[in-house]
């Protein structure tokens, strides 16, 4: 069965002190994401917190970034954050929920694509992306885990295999 995304929820109460954040990645374009799996309800919560050092062609054309979230291999309706106007270090603090049976969580991947919303009549341009293997970065114990993931430019996403635990 396909994972059915639920309505997104904006949660701004989560502070850095409440999260176990891995800060080992300290340079280059990156995105802070937290994951939490509720075993009772079989819901994976994905929070897109912020990104830093997003690439820009020149300093006079700062991007209006948002994040597209694609759950693979199902490819249900793509989810996306709101855009942040003119920022190379945007903050979203948006949470998305996916109904995924426990036995299927570790078979999924999540592609995060940071996109520049150029303007009302222009096609959005991909800035950078990453690919998360949930088997390597989702703690099924119910603990919220957060970490920085590197973002790469171009069409091929970097496969992230480092574990949260």
Band (128; pLDDT cuts 50, 70, 90)? very high
The length of the chain, given as a count of residues? 165
Average pLDDT over the chain, rounded to an integer? 81
Q: What is the pLDDT of residues 45-64, one digit of tens each?
A: 999 999 999 998 777 889 99
Q: What is the pLDDT of residues 90-116, one digit of tens each?
A: 999 999 999 999 999 989 999 999 999
Question: Number of H helices and number of E strands within the chain?
Answer: 2, 12
Joined tokens for residue 159: 């496969």
- The pairing of beta strand 79-80 with beta strand 65-72: antiparallel
User: In terms of Cα–Cα distance, which of 157, 155, 154, 146 is closest to 165?
Assistant: 146
Contacts of 24 (CB under 8 A, 6+ apart): 148
Joined tokens for residue 43: 């819901």
Please give the pLDDT value at position 41. 95
Secondary structure of 78-111 in HEC code, one letter for each residue = CEECCCCCCCCCCEEEEEEEEECCHHHHCCCEEE
Q: What is the pLDDT of residues 84-97, one digit of tens each?
A: 999 999 999 999 99
Answer whether residue 158 shows pLDDT above 90. no
Band (24; pLDDT cuts 50, 70, 90)? low
Answer whether residue 8 shows pLDDT above 60. no
Helix/strand/coil for 134? helix
Band (154; pLDDT cuts 50, 70, 90)? low
Dihedral over Cα of 87, 126, 81, 43: its sign: negative
pTM for this entry = 0.80
Instruction: Give backbone dihedrals phi and psi of 123, rounded to 5 degrees, phi first.
Output: -75, 135
Band (3; pLDDT cuts 50, 70, 90)? low
Beta strands in 53-86 (DSSP E): 65-72, 79-80
Answer whether residue 164 shows pLDDT above 70. no
> H/E element holding 135?
helix 134-137
């Amino acid at each position: 069965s396909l994972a059915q995304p639920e309505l997104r929820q904006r949660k701004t109460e989560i502070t850095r002190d409440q999260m176990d954040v891995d800060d080992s990645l300290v340079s280059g374009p990156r995105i802070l994401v937290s994951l939490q799996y509720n075993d009772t309800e079989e819901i994976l919560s994905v929070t897109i917190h912020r990104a830093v050092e997003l690439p820009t062609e020149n300093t006079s054309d700062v991007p209006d970034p948002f994040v597209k979230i694609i759950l693979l291999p199902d490819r249900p309706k793509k989810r996306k954050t709101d855009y942040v106007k003119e920022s190379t270090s945007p903050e979203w603090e948006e949470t998305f929920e996916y109904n995924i049976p426990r036995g299927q969580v570790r078979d999924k991947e999540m592609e995060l694509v940071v996109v520049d919303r150029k303007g009302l009549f222009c096609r959005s341009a991909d800035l950078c992306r990453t690919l998360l293997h949930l088997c390597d970065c989702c703690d099924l114990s119910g603990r919220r885990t957060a970490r920085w993931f590197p973002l790469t430019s171009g069409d091929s996403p970097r496969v992230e295999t480092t574990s949260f635990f």
